[in-house]
Amino acid sequence: MYRIILFVLTFNVLTCNAQDPNRNNDSVVGGPCEGCEALLEYGNQSLGPVDTLPTFDLAEPQLLLHGTVYQADGESPAEGVIVYIYHTNREGRYPSKPKATGWATRHGYIRGWVKTDATGKYSFYTVRPGAYPRRNVPEHIHMTIKEEGLPPYYIDEIEFLDDEILTDRAKANRRNRAGTGLVMPTEESGILVIERDIFLGRNIPNYP
């Protein structure tokens, strides 16, 4: 009798999940991703293609991150894609505010969101992140994206080719999710500029 009851309960659960119209069957796009849901924490903000992070006018070196998001064909611009970034301060820490909630407690307040325009363009004004204290982890910027109809998924972090901590071995081991995240900064009008183009679906597991 116990086995019969267990079977019925299990069948009902599986049937309900299969018929639930709100269930996202693409939840494994990109593979497991702890913290990708932070992308959804922009709340009531009206997202545009440009965002300025909180420390841009308070620290140096200032940094402009920009690029183009392309559709899976690698040529057509992708409009309306949300790009979320977060990174450390110059001391290599993720500073959070006393009343922070959600993922802001771990990602800190140096984070921002944009939505690509009709040409697929996006830009962030921020500062260059610092390396983690007492660790051999290069300077980096975390990136998560969300396309319409898909859950958020992470792509390769941005890393700086002029960072002495970034070894040749580490470069060779990068997966190039949505294209390479390795960038070389150039200086323009006193601001470091890096370009990171994003190619939807490239090297993304289980991509539709």
C-alpha to C-alpha distance for 137 and 151, rounded to whole angstroms: 28
pLDDT in tens, 103-123: 999 999 999 999 999 999 999
Provide the whole-model pTM: 0.86
Compute the half-sphere exposure of residue 84: CA atoms within 13 Å on the CB side of its CA. Answer: 23
Say which residues have a Cβ less than 8 Å from residue 65's Cβ, sequence separation at least 6. Answer: 85, 123, 124, 126, 141, 158, 194, 195, 196
pLDDT in tens, 160-194: 999 999 999 999 999 999 999 999 999 999 999 99
pLDDT in tens, 111-164: 999 999 999 999 999 999 999 998 889 999 999 999 999 999 999 999 999 999
Amino acid 188 reads E
- Whether 17 contacts 23, CB under 8 Å: yes
Where do the domains of the chain lie, and which CATH numbers do they carry? 44-199 (2.60.130.10)
